[in-house]
């Protein structure tokens, strides 16, 4: 594929590649986020108005808004003003933020999260400054290994290829804040368990803390604990000179592929369907085939059987009332006959 691109001289925005290539954001969500990020600081408008200007319909906007909130790019707070009127405060960001980090950014408090790329620079959204004499390029900082770890062996060296489509699909550390904190903690516990069970993969507390984000991303992509243990312990050499380097390399090389948005929605749909089936029970009534239904208050019969029983009970009650009325009429007639005599 050939590409011809001219760098714009004015009226442009800087958007991270993590947003443009996000595997779980639809095209409407990416368009809505990039459109909102391109707005000037003084252009304060609701996200729904931005969606209208971007040509996104109501249904697509609701879906895109839900995706952005799930990935941490959108946060909302509802409050009540002095006059008793409710209002909604929205905040978007070009990096995923947790609820605590978003609240800190809203209130102007310093965040506990370290900066993701170097020292603070100029603003990333808006017009470029005029009369710029020289362009400034900020390449990403290379991921350096700790100084106390030796170079990796042949098994530890990452497989990198310069041709597109070859080599490892994940050779860089995930950005800070991209993996939720519970998954990072779970990844740290998993690495500690593997290091405790395998003497050749002894990891220090510092190593576990550094590699917990990679292990957390493993779980975020749908990998299991057994898959993680197998990937780290299978085919180990007899002597491992640097366990931390080997674990880091294997976590990146054998990282599960990121599910697409359609695959994630299908998995969520199947999980929801499985939860609905788990809540159902089999009807104890007479059916040709077993019938499942969802009980409301511990019922043992399905709605059809309960309606049939109700109709049978009503018919029996009507029959009993008719027979009782006939008996009462017979008694009254017999009483009148005796009085006449």
The predicted-structure confidence for 302-333, as pLDDT tens digits, reads as follows: 888 888 877 776 667 777 777 777 778 877 77
Q: What is the pTM assigned to this prediction?
A: 0.35
Q: What share of the chain has pLDDT > 70, as a percent?
A: 73
Q: Hey, what domains does the chain have and what are their CATH numbers?
A: 17-107 (1.10.10), 147-260 (no CATH), 279-317 (no CATH)
Count of CB atoms situated within 10 Å of the CB of 252: 21
Reply yes or no on whether the pLDDT at 44 is more than 80. Answer: no
Confidence of residue 292 (pLDDT cuts 50, 70, 90): confident
Q: Minimal CA–CA distance to 97: which of 111, 78, 77?
A: 111
What are the C-alpha distances in Å from 140 to residues 16, 97, 199?
Answer: 12, 20, 36
Residue by residue, DSSP assigns 208-260 as HHHHHHHHHHHHHTT--HHHHHHHHHTT--S--S-HHHHHHHHHHHTPPPPPP
Residue that wins the pLDDT comparison between 46 and 341: 46
* Tokens coding 299: 């019922």
pLDDT of residue 102: 85
Q: Is 74 helix (H, G, I), strand (E, B) or coil?
A: strand
């Amino acid at each position: 594929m050939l590409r011809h691109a001219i760098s714009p001289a004015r009226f442009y925005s800087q958007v991270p590649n993590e947003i443009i290539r996000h595997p779980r954001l639809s095209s409407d969500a990416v368009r809505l986020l990039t459109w909102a990020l391109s707005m000037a600081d003084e252009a304060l408008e609701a996200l729904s108005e931005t969606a209208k200007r971007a040509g996104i319909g109501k249904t697509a906007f609701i879906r895109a808004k839900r995706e952005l909130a799930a990935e941490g790019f959108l946060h909302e707070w509802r409050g009540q003003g002095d006059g008793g009127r409710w209002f909604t405060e929205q905040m978007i960001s070009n990096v995923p933020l947790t609820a605590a980090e978003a609240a800190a950014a809203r209130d102007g408090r310093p965040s506990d999260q370290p900066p993701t790329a170097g020292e603070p620079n100029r603003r990333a959204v808006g017009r470029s400054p005029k009369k710029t004499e020289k362009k400034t390029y900020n390449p990403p900082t290379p991921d350096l290994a700790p100084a106390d770890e030796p170079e990796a062996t042949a098994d530890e060296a990452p497989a990198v290829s310069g041709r597109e489509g070859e080599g490892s699909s994940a050779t860089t550390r995930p950005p800070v804040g991209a993996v939720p904190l519970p998954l990072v903690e779970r990844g740290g516990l998993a690495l500690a368990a593997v290091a405790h069970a395998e003497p050749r993969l002894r990891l220090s507390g510092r190593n576990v803390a550094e590699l917990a984000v990679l292990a957390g991303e493993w779980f975020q992509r749908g990998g299991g604990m057994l898959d993680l243990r197998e990937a780290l312990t299978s085919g180990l050499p007899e002597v491992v000179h640097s366990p931390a380097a080997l674990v880091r390399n294997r976590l990146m090389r054998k990282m599960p592929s990121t599910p697409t948005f359609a695959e994630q929605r299908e998995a969520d749909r199947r999980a929801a369907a499985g939860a609905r089936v788990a809540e159902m029970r089999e009807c104890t009534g007479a059916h040709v085939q077993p019938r499942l239904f969802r009980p409301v208050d511990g019922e043992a019969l399905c709605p059809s059987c309960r309606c049939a029983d109700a109709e049978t009970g009503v018919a029996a009650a009507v029959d009993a009332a008719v027979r009782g009325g006939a008996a009462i009429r017979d008694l009254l007639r017999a009483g009148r006959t005796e009085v006449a005599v």
